[in-house]
Structure 1
């Protein structure tokens, strides 16, 4: 559609239909028929974050990268594996903050 046809349709509707369409209580009836609002569940987001963290931990447990990070942290070192995990965690944290 072009700007000209939009204007023609707008003019046609204005000429043939003056005023608003009578509501006759339709909006109030629809509003009453809507379900009640659900109460917020403040525990849901922390529980989901904990479940996701535990699932990721269990999934990565056999990974040699995670074992290398654990070895680095236990010996007091900070190597490439630890830096990679830190960057990954930071990125995922920022992503989840943006999503939330």
Structure 2
């Protein structure tokens, strides 16, 4: 159905019917007989986050940028490698946050 025709069809239906059709409790009986909603399990999300963090750490430990940033950060110095690494981590965190919010709107 085209969205253009929705208003016309709704106006015709409102002219023909005074209100909702009585169902004599049919909807309530059907809703009572439906099984309860299953809760989503959180373990796949937690396992994915942990696996991603471990794999990311393993791949970054060999990087000279990561080791220089880590050493400078522990020494309290803000080197270029520290700023680049923290900036990349912040950008990825913001992207993940935006993606999570966009996905939350769909559900």
Separation in structure 2 between the aligned mates of residue 73 and residue 10 of structure 1, nearest angstrom: 64
1:32 maps to 33
2:105 maps to none
Give 5+ residue unaligned stretches, structure 1.
none
Separation in structure 2 between the aligned mates of residue 88 and residue 37 of structure 1, nearest angstrom: 38
Which entry has the higher C-alpha Rg, 1 or 2? 1
SS of 1:38 mapped into structure 2: coil
Separation in structure 1 between the aligned mates of residue 88 and residue 32 of structure 2, nearest angstrom: 46
1:69 maps to 69
Separation in structure 1 between the aligned mates of residue 22 and residue 77 of structure 2, nearest angstrom: 75
Q: 1:39 to 1:49 in 2, by over 3 A?
A: closer
1:70 is displaced (CA, Å) by 3.3
1:91 is displaced (CA, Å) by 2.9
1:81 is displaced (CA, Å) by 0.6
RMSD after superposition: 3.5
Separation in structure 1 between the aligned mates of residue 26 and residue 16 of structure 2, nearest angstrom: 23
1:76 is displaced (CA, Å) by 5.3
Give 5+ residue unaligned stretches, structure 2.
102-107
1:48 is displaced (CA, Å) by 5.2
